[in-house]
Amino acid sequence: MKDIKIAFQGELGAYSHIACEKLFPGSQIKACPTFEETFRFAHQDENSKIIIPIENSLAGRVADIHYLLPKYKLQIYAEHFQTVEHNLLVKEGTELKDLKYVRSHAQAIDQCQKIIQKYKLKTIISADTAGSAKELSKGSDKSIGAIASNLSAEIYKLKILKKNIEDESNNVTRFLIMGKNIQQPSFEKNKKYITSCIFRLKSIPAALYKCLGGFATNQVNLTKLESFSVKNTFDQTNFYLDLEGHIEQSQVQKALEELGFHTESLNILGVYEASTSRQKK
């Protein structure tokens, strides 16, 4: 795995970093300050991959990702569902009675309101969870804690004061593993697949209704459909779509063909095996 180069957005210790370590242990890992730079990294090096969060079970979709997908036209190699477990981190020697403030990403702050309110902590918003842990490690103020991962505590030599402090236990982030010139897997009957695409409808009445009819008549299940505006205009909308099935299956081909009749553009982002996390328990 040492020859594989993986990039993610954020600081070392981020949940994206945890996903990198889990999926590609021993690989060369690069932390990028922005999503734009992360996408650019894979676009410029066809031998690299990136791990991108696209949605969270509590917070919804990740901002900016949908605009970068059509811009860089990377292919989806796989998906991964990562459980998010927040922890209250402090400097060594700090006790709960010393804390007055807690620092983290806005979403992490929102997801840990019970403990914040219980101990009447004031919040400090940071760019990301791992970054808040990094900032904490540089200072000497014991009145400040951070909400971040176990890996952040390990990397920045911080103490875990409280584990699993999130309000909801079913906090899961879905990641896409992407790269350039990735070949899609051949269809196998005993496996389940996801096909993802982005399309732009023709600006005519009932275009969305008509294009979705092809999925209904061909019995193709959609697992995700989201709209996002085309930049610099309010007149047109792009759609991101995930469907259950492989592009080599006839019913999927017919549904996508019907979709194509009503679109100005249709880009297949990837065909990949469905994560086992999708299986209903």
What is the residue extent of each domain of the chain? Answer: 5-82+171-179, 87-162, 193-278
* pLDDT mean across residues, the chain: 92
Q: Residue 235 — pLDDT band, cuts 50, 70, 90?
A: low
Please give the average per-residue pLDDT across 108-123, as a whole number. Answer: 95
pLDDT of the residue at 236 = 72
Going by C-beta distance under 8 Å and a sequence separation of 6 or more, which residues neighbour residue 65? 35, 52, 53, 54
DSSP 10-40: S-TTSHHHHHHHHHSTT-EEEEESSHHHHHH
Backbone angle region of 232, left / alpha / beta, with phi > 0 → left and psi within -120 to 50 → alpha: left
CA 221 to each of CA 133, 242, 267: distance values in angstroms, whole numbers, following the listed order: 41, 9, 19
pLDDT of the residue at 281 = 44
pLDDT over 70 (residue 232):
no
| Catalytic residue list contains 173 | yes
pTM, two decimal places:
0.91
The one catalytic residue among 173, 215, 228, 263: 173
Pick the CATH number of 5-82+171-179 from 1.10.760.10, 3.40.640.10, 3.40.50.150, 3.40.190.10: 3.40.190.10
CATH fold match for the domains 5-82+171-179 and 193-278: no
Domain topology for 87-162: D-Maltodextrin-Binding Protein; domain 2 (3.40.190)
| Catalytic residue list contains 175 | yes
pLDDT of the residue at 195 = 98
Judge: domain 193-278, CATH 3.30.70.260. yes
The one catalytic residue among 39, 175, 215, 228: 175
Q: Give buried/exposed letters for 101-132 (b at 16+ CB in 10 A, else e).
A: ebbbbebbbebbeebbeeeebebbebebbbbb
pLDDT of the residue at 22 = 95
